[in-house]
Structure 1
Amino acid sequence: MGTYFCGKIKGMVSKIAYALADFFEWTFQILPVLGNIPNYLLLFIGFAAFIYWLTEMRKHEKAGER
């Protein structure tokens, strides 16, 4: 009984692992097609977050907070 149950779980985990691997292979095939768009997008998001953070810090400074 224990061997059958262990084999069944092993097969299920194997299917999940292969499905996950197939998903990652698919996403990595898309990246060359996109080119530098993801890089520019992350750069823009980081820059926007930095500007937001600086404006929040300026508000705190004007309010007399440290």
Structure 2
Amino acid sequence: MDPSRRSRNPRKGRAEDGIANGAVRRLLAKALRLPASAVSLEQADRPAEDILIAGEGEALARDIAALTGQNP
């Protein structure tokens, strides 16, 4: 693997994983109307089908599934 594509944080794995996690955090923060820094990665790592937000749950779950490569 190209070392430039590796994340410096071994918990995150590849750099793309960090980008996807950041996008998931921003989506969750938007739906919850919170700053992205207030959404933990534990929330972002949950399966998309477990994330239900009143009014936007299904659309948010689809967006998260698309970003993380999960089946919606």
TM-score normalised according to structure 2 size: 0.33
More helix by share: 1
Could you say which structure has the larger radius of gyration?
Answer: 1
Query: Relative CO higher for 1 or 2, CA cutoff 8 Å, sep ≥ 6?
Result: 2
